[in-house]
Amino acid sequence: MTSPLPIKNGLNPTRVQVPMSEGAPIKAIDFVSRLVFTQRHRHPEDNEDAVRQRFSDGLVRFDDGQEVAPDDLVRPGISINFYRRPAPEREVPGALELIYEDNDLLVINKPSFLATLPRGQHITQTALTKARVQFGISELSPCHRLDRLTRGVLMFTKRPEIRGAYQTMFDRREPQKIYEAITDLPVDPPPWLRKLMLNTESGGLSQHLCGREVGEVNRGGSGTEAKSFDEGGDPVVSGATNENKAITARATTWQSEYASQHNVRSDKTSLRGETAAGTTGRVDTGLALPTLDEVVIDTPWRERSQPTTESPWVLGHHMVKIRGRLNTYLDLDATADNAVTAITGVRIVTDTVSTSAPTTRLVWRLEPHSGRTHQLRVVMRSLGLPIVNDALYGFICTDALLGRATDLPSPPFAEDEDFNRPMGLTAAQLTFTDPLSGELRTFRVPDKQG
């Protein structure tokens, strides 16, 4: 049904029915006050005067559009409509980048740290709310969702009458989605990866990472300093001998740098909500540096050939997400897979997006054939190659990944997140047959040259 109140500041009005359990009519102002004052994330200035102002401004309505007076008695089963006032939120920097727009669709490059839809503590700082305001289109509606920490291609419909066709297409999992995941170089690369390292070193790194420009690596020209590799293909750290270079490589992984920036302890105990003696507030993220064992389902990844589009790694898992538990875990005893992911490529780049200094890393091309919560993050962690700046799966021990332990890392709260360290997962490409025109369409995160 059409709301009697318009979308305001990118947000839909709230429609609430007086519950039958109320048993008797209730004053409208008492009912709205109850809803406002029990709102979990409420603006501190949303007080009794603000509630009364809603009625004075005619911003409390019945479904038929009639204004509701404060002393009107509202029977159980009757709905009223009004605007909630969200709590202040930390601003996610930057405008939304437009990828494509026509009469039906609007496609953006969603940044990290921005939820797709208003929910919980994220109301104004969401892709939907910001897109409605930035582009001036109040009827925008997302066709699909991206996790808050994932950046990349996000598509909206512009008109309610076409919304269902596109959302149904995604519900049926018809579009092909390609993601790119950034990981560190492994300490002991297999022969095909060593060869790739040598070839990359010989030609210089001039690729572009997930739609963002990356530094160029060459031998004596301008740009980032060239990385060196030994004859076996392992990266050589300045001043490191063959005997200690693997240890040095492990010490310079993204987890170590992340830990140093977030006061991370060296054990595996979760400290969510715990404070040190004599202090107040949250002083420790509870992130630890576990051993990142590979969870071998079929063949260890180092024993596989290089993944390509023609010869992908097709990885099947049974994933379980329990309400109230932070992580998705793997059930190795399940008789059937419910999550399938194809890894169809890997390349070496200089990452300047996810780190404070240019760093040589791998970018894996992932094609999920299911849509489990945190699926790609779990897949990469199961290989022992967690995605860069993944504060949950980058620090989770193997027992917890398999559901055998309850001690979990405690990622930073939203207000403590470092916007300069986005998680290295990008929804890089979306391809589908348009349900209205029959046209094959592809949207990609744009490359930025220079």
The pLDDT of residue 242: 41
Quickly tell me which residue has 């709102």 as its tokens.
Answer: 39
The pLDDT of residue 279: 29
Confidence check: pLDDT of 253 > 90: no
CA dihedral 112, 116, 120, 122 (to 10 degrees): 50
Average pLDDT, the chain: 84
Q: Rounded to an integer, what distance in angstroms lies between the CA atom of residue 314 and that of residue 302?
A: 15
Among the ranges given (33-37, 122-126, 278-282, 333-337), the one the predictor scored with the smallest mean pLDDT: 278-282
The strand ranges marked E within 135-217 are: 141-142, 151-157, 176-184, 208-209, 212-213
What are the tens digits of pLDDT across the range 134-152?
999 999 999 999 999 999 9
pLDDT band at residue 288 under the 50/70/90 scheme: low
The pLDDT of residue 263: 56
- List the alpha helices (DSSP H) in 118-180: 127-135, 160-171
| Annotation: CATH topology of 14-82 | 3.10.290
Tokens (6 digits) for 359: 């760093």
Grouping H, G, I as helix, E, B as strand and the rest as coil, residue 63 is: coil
Confidence check: pLDDT of 352 > 70: yes
Domain boundaries, the chain: 14-82, 97-173, 180-201+290-411
The pLDDT of residue 76: 97
pLDDT band at residue 250 under the 50/70/90 scheme: very low
The pLDDT of residue 301: 96
The pLDDT of residue 448: 56
> Across residues 408-425, what is the average pLDDT?
91
Confidence check: pLDDT of 191 > 50: yes
> Across residues 238-259, what is the average pLDDT?
50
Q: Give the contacts of 362 (CB within 8 A, at least 6 positions apart).
A: 182, 183, 184, 185, 346, 347, 348, 349, 385
Q: CATH assignment of 97-173?
A: 3.30.2350.10
The pLDDT of residue 2: 86
pLDDT band at residue 19 under the 50/70/90 scheme: very high
Query: pLDDT: is 265 or 417 the higher one?
Result: 417
What are the tens digits of pLDDT across the range 290-326?
778 899 988 999 999 999 999 999 999 999 999 989 9
The pLDDT of residue 187: 86
CB 439 within 8 A of CB 433: yes
Q: What percent of the chain has pLDDT over 70?
A: 82
Confidence check: pLDDT of 393 > 80: yes
> Across residues 424-436, what is the average pLDDT?
98
Q: Rounded to an integer, what distance in angstroms lies between the CA atom of residue 256 and that of residue 288?
A: 9
Query: pLDDT: is 255 or 418 the higher one?
Result: 418
- Nearest by Cα to 166 from 179, 154, 183: 154
CB 240 within 8 A of CB 232: no
The pLDDT of residue 287: 61
Grouping H, G, I as helix, E, B as strand and the rest as coil, residue 377 is: helix
pLDDT band at residue 222 under the 50/70/90 scheme: very low
The pLDDT of residue 417: 93
pLDDT band at residue 262 under the 50/70/90 scheme: low
pLDDT band at residue 449 under the 50/70/90 scheme: very low
pLDDT band at residue 427 under the 50/70/90 scheme: very high
> Across residues 205-234, what is the average pLDDT?
36
The pLDDT of residue 255: 82
